Amino acid sequence: MSDGAKGLTRQQMCDRLAMEFQDGWIVNLGIGIPTLCSNFDFGDRQIIFHAENGVIGYGPLTGAGREDLHLVNAGGQHVTLHPGAAIVNHADSFGMIRSGRIDVTVLGAYEVAANGDFANWKMAGQKGGGIGGAMDLAACAKHVFVAMEQVTRRGQPRLVERCAIPVTARGVVDLVITNYGLYEITPEGMALREIAPGISVDEVKATTGCNLSIPSEVPPVKVRG
Amino acid sequence: MPKSKIFPTFDAAVADIPDGSTIGFGGFAVVGMPINLYKALAEQGAKGLTCVSNGTRGGATLPGDGPDMGGLITNGQVKKVICSFTAPTRASQKLMFSEYYEKGLIDAELVPQGTLAERMRAAGAGIPAFYTPAAVGTELAEGRETRVFNGREYLLEEALPLDYAFIRAYQADAFGNLRFRRSQRNFNPLMAMAARVTIVEVEEDILPVGAIDPDDVHLAGIFVHRLIKIPPPPEGWWPQRPAEVAKHEAERNAR
């Protein structure tokens, strides 16, 4: 399935980010595309999933009819618990976040800027918004990864020089995966690291709204760990 | 002998709530949501309320007719909400709140989720304010006090005391010592700590004092004032299984 878009599927995008998770990492996944990271086969690596609502160490989604009605992840999905899981209240859960216990958060975004700013809580002209735990996570997780489509529904770039809509946090994004490729935010700006199969460098350039450092040979996005 | 904390009905437990109260509603994505107390408060009719909750709707697994903040809003009872979500989490979702908010009929304060939790914890812990790294450099921090500690900028946030906390628990003893099950805990103990009066809808039969081992108490009864055992449907409202919810939604969409 290509999700109706070119390049990587959403699962392939999340698989690529999940390959970066190190053994023993505490990982928090945002609502939407990022939740797919938990489908990745981590092999021998122990990955502990942290949910904002205080569920530490949750496992796969439950099958239909087998849900525990007292147990959801931060996306409201019914999940299972891994052995060794723990439940804490919301203040303790965000205490873990603010005190730097979370190794990586994977978030969706509307825009990511070349300076590592990103925006994901409020669309242009919208009254109100949806922050959830994103501002706490983005400000405090050791790494911030973003998973999003290369362009908006109207074909506008989401990778931009400066965010035009209200930001979630400034200068925090490390790595971005889109259906077109993998990008790293460096002190010098945004760099293309890997490119999706079937996508040309010219297509990447045409759909990116900021200066992009591009190596002479761009390796393909890794599709298996 | 102090007065019993056990109330016979939801109506009795919310009868004295005055107009203009600030009320915290616990729960996260339906789990731990005080759905019966929402319903009772809609029937009681107190107005000019400030409602504190993670969002203005229970989440995708609450059926369309499930009591939530939307009922209070359409009743014209809500003056202001304090939430971490005022927009739906899915583009396809429509919130009762949005209609009223866009017309300017309700005020809203949008707060990062961790800040929301900590503001209530602080209120319950006797701390008037604290500094947090969340929201620094964003629109939310514009014009507000920040301070640098160890080279990093933090935003000043004030405690959020509540007049009432409406919460749901798994087990309670008659003194109000509570246990929550799985992700039911979420905001519930924090709201209870922040509130002058905590009202709890309890899933299991209310236990005699001493029946919960002190080591197993998740929230001490000194933070709890009123307990109501949730009766079986139709008198009490319970969340449905997701499969039933899906069926319900499909039927509703077909109409």
**Of residues B3, B9, B5, the one with CA closest to residue B175:** B5
Please report, as a single letter, which amino acid is at residue A62.
T
Q: A18: domain range? A: 10-213
3-state class (DSSP) for residue A158: coil
Instruction: Report yes or no on A221 lying in a domain.
Output: no
Q: Counting beta carbons within 10 angstroms of the beta carbon of residue A24, is it exposed (0 to 12), middle (13 to 18) or buried (19 or more)?
A: exposed
Distance from CA of B183 to the nearest CA of A (A): 5
For A131, which of B102, B112, B117 is closest by C-beta distance? B112
pLDDT tens, B140-173? Answer: 999 999 999 999 999 999 999 999 999 999 999 9
Q: Between chains, do B30 and A31 touch, taking CB under 8 Å as contact?
A: no
If one counts the domains in chain A, the total is: 1
**pLDDT for residue B190 is more than 70:** yes
Q: What is the pLDDT of residue B242?
A: 59
Instruction: For residue A12, give the DSSP letter.
Output: H
Q: Between chains, do B113 and A90 touch, taking CB under 8 Å as contact?
A: yes
Instruction: Report yes or no on A220 lying in a domain.
Output: no
Catalytic residue annotation of A: 52
- Residue A208: give its domain's CATH number: 3.40.1080.10
Instruction: For residue A38, give the DSSP letter.
Output: G
Q: B91: domain range? A: 18-110+161-254
Instruction: Report yes or no on A154 lying in a domain.
Output: yes
For A131, which of B113, B188, B243 is closest by C-beta distance? B113
**pLDDT for residue B64 is more than 90:** no
If one counts the domains in chain B, the total is: 1
Query: Which residues does chain B have within 8 Å of residue A98's beta carbon, measured at their own beta carbons?
Result: 114, 132-134
What is the predicted ipTM?
Answer: 0.95
**pLDDT for residue B230 is more than 90:** yes
Q: Which residue has the higher pLDDT, B77 or A5?
A: B77
Give me the DSSP letters along B148-199: EETTEEEEEEE---EEEEEEEESEEBTT--EE--GGG-TTHHHHHHHEEEEE
Instruction: Report yes or no on A118 lying in a domain.
Output: yes
- Residue B185: give its domain's CATH number: 3.40.1080.10
Instruction: For residue A22, give the DSSP letter.
Output: P
Which of A86-95, B53-62, B236-245 holds the top average pLDDT?
A: A86-95
Instruction: Report yes or no on B237 lying in a domain.
Output: yes
Task: Record the tokens describing residue B135, joined without a space.
Answer: 């929201």
Give the residue ranges of chain A where pLDDT is below 50.
1-2, 225
Q: SS3 breakdown of chain B: % helix, strand, coil, rounded to 5? A: 30, 25, 45
Mutation target for A interface from B99, B119, B144, B186: give the one with most A CBs within 10 A.
B186
Query: Which residues does chain A have within 8 Å of residue B135's beta carbon, measured at their own beta carbons?
Result: 135, 139
Q: What is the pLDDT of residue B253?
A: 64
For B60, which of A54, A76, A127 is closest by C-beta distance? A76
Instruction: Report yes or no on A224 lying in a domain.
Output: no
Instruction: Report yes or no on B68 lying in a domain.
Output: yes
Q: For chain B, what is the mean pLDDT? A: 93
Q: What is the pLDDT of residue A1?
A: 40
Query: Which residues does chain A have within 8 Å of residue B243's beta carbon, measured at their own beta carbons?
Result: 64-65
Instruction: Report yes or no on B186 lying in a domain.
Output: yes
Instruction: Report yes or no on B137 lying in a domain.
Output: no
Instruction: Report yes or no on A18 lying in a domain.
Output: yes
Q: What is the pLDDT of residue A223?
A: 86
Instruction: Report yes or no on B125 lying in a domain.
Output: no
> Rounded CA gap, B222 and A144, in Å?
40
CA angle B44-B121-B85, nearest 5°?
A: 65
- Phi and psi, residue B12, nearest 5°: -65, -35
Beta bridge partners, B51, equal B23, B81
Distance from CA of B82 to the nearest CA of A (A): 11
Claim: this prediction has a pTM higher than 0.90: yes
Instruction: Report yes or no on A219 lying in a domain.
Output: no
